[in-house]
Amino acid sequence: MFRFAGFKNYLWDKWVHWLIYEPPNYKTPLTSFERLRYELRPGDVLLVEGRSNVAEIIKSITQSMWTHSFFYIGRLHDIDDPMLRDHIQKYRHCMPEEQLIIEAILGKGIIVTSIEDYAGEHLRICRPRGITRADSQKVINYAINELGKDYNVRQIMDLARFMFPYWFLPRRWRSSLFEHNAGRPTKTVCSTMMAEAFAKVRFPIIPVLHQDETGNLKLIRGNSKLMTPRDFDHSPYFDVIKYPILDFDELGVYRNLPWDQTSVHCNDIGDCFYSHPEEVENLIPIKSADTLHHQATESPPDADDKVEPAGRKQSEQ
């Protein structure tokens, strides 16, 4: 009996190790991590495009590139409750300026760690629109109290069975997705934990709309066990915030192209086009092997070498 249990644990450990294995990341990050880290607010949800084997499974299940989600809770001084700050220190010795996140990881459970762990990854911020600071603190408090729980692998498998109706077993038969357990569950996954946290303050993610007898629309809370990272991306109640690594709005990349401000291309001597006629007086012709370039000078050009403005051709007599 003990040998069977030991062999079962051995197989489980090997399977978990295979699921969480991540190949090296050779892709150039699409997100400016420094800008994203600077703009984060406590209570933000971050989405990750994972690279592990379990991430590939989640991509197939959800048909989405986003495979993982986690809470940004800020720095220690951003948490109002001193008892919760002490509770975090039991799980991680945090530096005062360290930016902290709470996430559910296969093989580790719900942990608190640093946002630095995701430097170089493809990330996206989903910010709950209009949430009050008090409710944001309640959401964070819920996540902090979840620290230490195990990761629910069975829920991922049941979610796969639910979303693939052609599987042999019925989607709801012996499924943990529709079980009601008395008390607080001891296992969870990342998106379910966050859905439960927002439900505590009645903040919607993807609610079910219902029309009552009087014609008024009512929101009904959905099953948090069916929540996936893509739901935060699709939710109309979350603002999607992106900080690409090359941002035209800030870098003005096109302005950094190596334009020559002092020259003009000519097909031949006297056969030039210059789009700014008012600057012609400041140009003189200089011969080259193939073309003629006019470079700016302080003195006006000679009359014989004058460049005709705006595409006019000067023919030799």
DSSP codes of every residue in 138-200? HHHHHHHHTTTPEE-HHHHHHHHHHH-TTSSS-TTTT-GGG---SS--SEE-HHHHHHHHHHT
Give per-residue burial for 254-293: e unless 16+ CB within 10 Å, then b: eeeeeeeeebbebeeebbbebeeeebbebbbbeeeeeebb
In the block, residue with structure tokens 């592990």: 52
Could you tell me the CA-to-CA distances from 40 to 29, 125, 194, 210 in Å, in that order? 18, 8, 17, 34
Whole-angstrom distance, CA of residue 36 vs CA of residue 29: 12
283 with 292: CB under 8 angstroms? no
In the block, residue with structure tokens 């012709």: 285
- As given in the structure block, the two tokens for residue 139 are 């959401």
88 with 144: CB under 8 angstroms? yes
Domains and CATH numbers, the chain: 27-249 (3.90.1720.10), 260-305 (no CATH)
Mean pLDDT for each 10-residue chunk of the chain (317 residues)?
69 76 80 92 95 82 88 96 96 94 89 95 95 97 93 62 50 42 51 92 90 85 83 95 74 67 65 63 53 46 49 45
pTM of the model: 0.67
pLDDT for residue 241 = 93
Listed residue (207, 200, 236) closest to 221, CA to CA: 207
pLDDT for residue 182 = 38
pLDDT for residue 173 = 43
pLDDT for residue 160 = 58
For residue 15, the tally of other CB atoms under 10 A from its CB is 12
Whole-angstrom distance, CA of residue 136 vs CA of residue 138: 5
65 with 82: CB under 8 angstroms? no
pLDDT for residue 200 = 93
pLDDT for residue 107 = 79
Whole-angstrom distance, CA of residue 232 vs CA of residue 195: 9
pLDDT for residue 145 = 95
pLDDT for residue 261 = 62
50 with 243: CB under 8 angstroms? no
pLDDT for residue 317 = 43
Listed residue (40, 55, 189, 58) closest to 116, CA to CA: 40
pLDDT for residue 60 = 79
pLDDT for residue 171 = 45
